[in-house]
A and B are shown apart, each in its own frame.
Chain A
């Protein structure tokens, strides 16, 4: 009997766990190690951030779910992986520290036959001085707790505006290399919708601040769609939505610090600016969670396993090359570590070979370009492919059998622009493939028949249904495996 350990129970880790539990859970041992006791449907955190949902509505307890699948769950924070074992472990193992209240701070070790690193991102607020809820200068919607606090702060601003005050809201990215522009994009429109509902929109100045070269980049190099008889850049539609809602936008910006009610930022042209504000939601840059990798002799081999940003190297082409030489083949397909064949990384935990958007630097040498986006759908697709590969490897396959390259799959993003079942809207955006492939699609890098975008109430219905469908799926309710990931 083999043991498969999955580090992390986010969208990617939980997807891998569910499928492995279903496919091999009766013959082999499937173990999940994750620091929080709940799974979070991250796309709905936006609605928690404006008070349309609660944290309880976007999270599910993991223990009963894993009990149903015969999966062992350790509520613990992974510390290190030891892919060669050590003096006391003949086999590879992981070391972790329990966050379980029943075993606080205890250290645990488990040997494995296969390991999936699904640890996701470290929210690197510290990369920008003054950024984030702990520093107190900006809010976040990255976690349910953060989003709950964001709504509290938002409601305080609304109360002040109802009393006659005027307020400035700044929403976007809090660092030149942040990603997840889509989440910030959703949040600014939901804040706009909430302010209009509260009757105070006229007292608010809403400003989008991001590191994108142009609006609509979203960390995927932008998108081109066919609409109204034209092939048009997503920049036009993104600006249209901002103009329609009376917002201003600042792009090509790297936030250098937040202090004393001012956001300090540098633009791509090298100029420095200050922006006074009252409420800010700025997405932090991501980094790896800080896992160590140790060889048999106790040496730190982290630089061989992880990229400098802390994400795990997999079967990608990491050779440095100019933007003009980037290609679809650079991107990983099996997500297997090139050094240890029983080690995989999925979701945000794998190291991309490079950005998707074009690298940009200011004259001061400051990189101002979005990092590569890894959204929910690709993350789940990658996790399911790796789970299927491990299932087949356990049955004797000589190599991973399933692939999920981001240059060979599409992504569906439904960005809420206002939550209401009869008056709400959302921007439904679909791209194929996620990573542009100019060899297959020379003009725009993507298949224009499968790449499209539309704003409307139908999009909100889709996002609302997806919330319920994916939480149903996460709870492994009857028929869950029939739902798409």
Chain B
């Protein structure tokens, strides 16, 4: 029953969806470890700017 609304002219047809590589990288341990460091650094920068 899960709706597959990706068909032509359907709602999700116009939305970008990730490629298999991007989907894989989202849960790749090594890549996400790097992103964890980068995200935290960027967050700390925002916290510092927010006082």
Question: Do A and B come together as binding partners?
Answer: yes
Interface residues, chain A, CB within 8 Å of chain B?
166-167, 201-206, 236, 239-240, 242-244, 246-249, 381, 404, 408-410, 412, 422-425, 428, 430, 432, 450, 452, 454-459, 461-462, 484
Q: Do the beta carbons of B39 and A459 come within 8 Å of each other?
A: yes
Cβ-defined contact, B17 with A455, below 8 A: no
Are A458 and B33 closer than 8 Å at their CB atoms? Answer: yes
Chain A residues with CB below 8 A from B3, complex form: 205-206, 246-248
A-B contact pairs, 10 of them (CB 8 A): A204-B1, A205-B2, A240-B16, A240-B17, A248-B5, A381-B50, A404-B51, A450-B46, A458-B33, A462-B43
A457 to B25, CA, bound (A): 9
Docked-complex contact A461 and B36, CB < 8 angstroms = yes
User: Are B51's CB and A409's CB within 8 A?
Assistant: yes
Interface residues of B (CB under 8 A from A): 1-6, 11-12, 14-18, 25-29, 31-33, 35-36, 39-40, 42-43, 45-47, 49-51
Contacts of A409 in B (CB 8 A): 50-51
Q: Chain A residues near B29 (CB, 8 Å)? A: 422, 457
* Chain B residues with CB below 8 A from A202, complex form: 1-2
B contact residues around A425 at 8 Å (CB): 26-27
Query: Could you list 9 further interchain pairs (A-B, Cβ under 8 angstroms) beyond the known A244-B17, A456-B27?
Result: A201-B2, A205-B2, A243-B11, A246-B5, A247-B3, A248-B11, A410-B49, A423-B27, A425-B26
A35 CB to closest chain B CB (Å) equals: 31
Main secondary structure on A side of the interface with B: mixed
B28 neighbours in A (Cβ, 8 Å): 457
Q: How far is the CA of A450 from the CA of B49 in the complex (A)?
A: 9
Checking A248, A408, A450 against B45 with a beta-carbon cut-off of 8 angstroms, the contacting residue is A450
Q: Is the CB of B1 within 8 A of A205?
A: yes
User: CA separation between A484 and B31, bound complex, in Å?
Assistant: 26
B14: which A residues are within 8 A, CB to CB? 239
CB neighbours (8 Å) of A167 from chain B are 1
- Contact A430 to B27, CB < 8 A, known contacts A204-B2, A246-B3: no
- Contact indicator B43/A412 (Cβ below 8 Å): yes
**7 tightest CB-CB pairs across the interface, nearest first?**
A243-B12, A243-B15, A458-B36, A409-B50, A457-B32, A410-B46, A458-B35
Name, among B32, B45, B46, B51, the residue most crowded by chain A CB atoms within 10 Å (CB to CB). Answer: B46
Q: Which residues of A contact B43 (CB under 8 A)?
A: 412, 428, 430, 462
Report which of B2, B35, B47 forms a contact with A456, defined as CB distance below 8 A. B35
User: Hey, which chain A residues are within 8 Å of B50, CB to CB?
Assistant: 381, 408-410, 432
Contacts of B12 in A (CB 8 A): 239, 242-243, 248
Shortest Cβ distance from residue B2 to the other chain A in the assembled complex, whole angstroms? 5
CB neighbours of A430 from chain B (8 A): 42-43, 46
Closest B residue to A246 using CB positions? B2
Contacts A422-B29, A457-B32, A459-B39 given; does A412 touch B15 at CB 8 Å = no
- Residues of chain B contacted by A432 (CB below 8 angstroms): 46, 49-50
B24 vs chain A, min Cβ distance (A): 11
The verdict on A243 contacting B17 (CB below 8 Å), with A166-B1, A248-B5 known, is: yes
Q: Which residue among B1, B6, B16, B25 has the maximum number of chain A CB atoms within 10 Å of its CB?
A: B1
Instruction: Name the contact of B36 in the complex, choosing from A206, A462, A484 (C-beta under 8 A).
Output: A462
* Contact present for B39 and A462 (CB under 8 Å): yes
Tell me if A249 and B11 are in contact (CB < 8 A): yes
Contact B40 A462 (CB under 8 A): yes
The CA of A242 and the CA of B14, in the complex, are separated in Å by: 12
Nearest Cβ on chain B to A263's Cβ, whole angstroms: 17
Q: Which residues of chain B are near A422, meaning CB under 8 Å? A: 27, 29
Q: How far is the CA of A315 from the CA of B27 in the complex (A)?
A: 45
Q: How far is the CB of A155 from chain B (nearest CB, A)?
A: 19
Contact A239–B15 (Cβ < 8 Å): yes
Report how far A239 CA is from B35 CA in the complex, Å.
23
Residue of A nearest to B37 (CB): A458
Q: Name which residue of chain A comes closest to B50, CB basis.
A: A409
In whole angstroms, how far apart are the Cα atoms of A423 and B51 in the complex? Answer: 34
Chain B residue at minimal CB-CB distance from A447: B49
With beta carbons under 8 angstroms apart, the residue of A243, A404, A408 that contacts B6 is A243
A408-B50 Cα distance, complex, nearest whole Å: 7
Q: Are A412 and B2 in contact (CB under 8 A)?
A: no
Q: Which residues of B contact A462 (CB under 8 A)?
A: 36, 39-40, 43
Chain A hits for B32, CB < 8 A: 456-458, 461
Shortest distance from the beta carbon of A454 to any chain B beta carbon, whole Å: 7
* CA gap between A408 and B39 in the complex, in Å: 21
Does B46 contact A412, Cβ atoms closer than 8 Å?
Answer: yes
User: Which residues of B are found within 8 Å of A203, using beta-carbon distances?
Assistant: 1-2
**A247 — nearest CB in chain B belongs to which residue?**
B3
Quick check: A455 and B6 within 8 Å, CB to CB?
no
Asked if A236 contacts B16 (CB within 8 A), the reply is yes
A456-B29 Cα distance, complex, nearest whole Å: 10
